[in-house]
Amino acid sequence: MVGSGFQTKSEKYGVVDISEVITSSDFAKNQKENLRTVGQTRQDLLQFANTYPLFTPEQAQKFRDLSIKPQPTAADKAELEKLKNDVIATHKKFQDLQLKANPTTEQVTLLRDYNERSQTMVKTLDRWAREFSDEIQTLQDKLRQETMNRATDAVKEVGQKQGYSVVYMQDVVPYAANNITADALKAMNSKK
Amino acid sequence: MNKFSKLGWIVAAALGGIWLASGFQDSANKIAVVDISDVVEKSNYGKTNQDTFAKMKKAREDLLQFIDDYRVLNAEQAQDLKDLSLKDNPTAEDKAKVDRIKADVIASNKKWNELSTKATLTPEDRTLLDDYARRGQNMEAVARRWFNDFTNEMQAWADKQKADSISKARVAIQKVAKAQGYTIVFEVGIAPYGANDLTDASLQAMNAGS
């Protein structure tokens, strides 16, 4: 009794479930959605270019730039649509030429050009896939770190305001009379 | 009965002693937290390691990218390019040699493209074309092997630096905690908040020690 009296007076311990703070926070939910959008955009881009690989290098660069633009304007969207239609038309032309029994010299030259574009695009797509994968990994790491930092800041804020000596992770201290998880979540959500 | 009640008093007194002891111990204990990752990452030692890692990574990525773009390197060119590109402190002469090798390889690649689209080939053209194709195939295998080698090398380097950095950070934390009379210091992975936080002081101690 005497001991716990001294302890209560001088020290205040709490626990927090930081995973719960992170996963339930508005910030983490938004970041997860952003990450999903970034991944989907790049996946769609690669899928299209893989289906219709007859881009010129200039078209390929423009296609990439416009496709991954974070907030494309109406003009950007129209330009991208036109570019895609051009590439689809080239692809159709390529298929028609391949079926020709006796192509003319010009047609043979065009076929060769299309083949070169296709080969170049295979390498380009390989590089893009690697770059996108790195980009998404970096973004994921950054968002994870940012979310963790925000959650830790929220725990610190609550811990300090409520006069705790130490706040432990619930993983290592499964129970404490004082649990600040809900307060920390509230503090994290209050920051925009 | 008397004996039991006497024993009861002894037990109660003993427990009381423990409570009293823990009460005194608690008020004497001094607890703190520290973010060891923060100490490592923000330390001069950690920053230097991060820069070195980024440079190593870039040098290896650039080399692999060059091979991927221009595959017609012969074995000797490939080895020289690797050795010189990954040299820690290349001399002006090394850099000039890298540029020369790259220019030669780019020229060979251009020639290969020209020959590939040539309608009629001379026997010499055909021999050269075959040689380029062989080099291209060979370089594909070399690039795969190097990629694996580089990944393992970078991983091993990062693991070693991480262990060294943590070890240095621990020494700094111990020094600060001892000087300030702490009983126990928890890592933020165990206790994300503590009224006493030794992160900044430990960072200063680590930088002062390096």
Which of B27, B31, B193 has its CB closest to that of A6? B27
- Positions of E strands within chain B: 31-34, 184-187, 193-194
List strand residue ranges (DSSP E) for B64-208, in order.
Answer: 184-187, 193-194
Q: Which CA distances in Å does A111 have to A100, A143, B46, B120?
A: 11, 46, 55, 18
pLDDT on residue A7: 41
Going by pLDDT thresholds of 50, 70 and 90, the confidence category of residue B61 is very high
Give A-chain residues touching B69 at CB under 8 angstroms. 123
Residue the block writes with tokens 């994968």: A133
Distance separating alpha carbons of residues A183 and B95, to the nearest angstrom: 59
What is the separation of C-alpha B99 from the centre of its chain, rounded to a whole number of angstroms? 29
Using CA atoms, how far apart are residues A8 and A46, in angstroms rounded to an integer?
61
Chain B partners within 8 Å of A159 (Cβ): 192-195
List the domain boundaries for chain A. 2-190
Q: What is the percent of chain B where pLDDT is above 90?
A: 77
Q: What pLDDT score was predicted for residue B3?
A: 39
pLDDT tens, residue by residue, A63-73 = 999 999 988 99
Q: How far is CA B195 from CA A158, A167, B146, in A?
A: 11, 9, 50
> Which is it for strands B193-194 and A166-169: parallel, antiparallel or unpaired?
antiparallel
Average pLDDT over residues B111-140: 89
| B172-209 pLDDT tens trace | 999 999 999 999 999 999 999 999 999 999 999 999 98
CB contact under 8 A, A160 and B193: yes
Inter-chain touch A6–B194, beta carbons under 8 Å: no
What's residue B149's pLDDT? Answer: 96
With pLDDT > 70 as the criterion, what percentage of chain A qualifies? 95
Buried b (16+ CB within 10 A) or exposed e, B87-107: eeebeeeeeebbeebbeebee
Taking CB atoms and an 8 Å limit, are B26 and A168 in contact across chains?
Answer: no
Residue B24 vs residue A60, higher pLDDT: A60
The token pair at A146 is 């940012």
Dist. CA B31–CA B26, nearest whole Å:
10
Select from A109, A119, A124, A166 the residue whose CB has the most chain B CBs within 10 Å, as the one to mutate to test that interface: A166
Nearest by Cα to A185 from A22, A14, A31: A22
pLDDT at B82 over 60: yes
The pLDDT-based confidence of A27 (bands split at 50, 70, 90) is very high
ipTM of the complex: 0.70
d(CA A20, nearest CA chain B) in Å: 14
The pLDDT, as a whole number, for residue B20 is 34
Alpha-carbon distance A73 to nearest alpha carbon in chain B (angstroms): 33
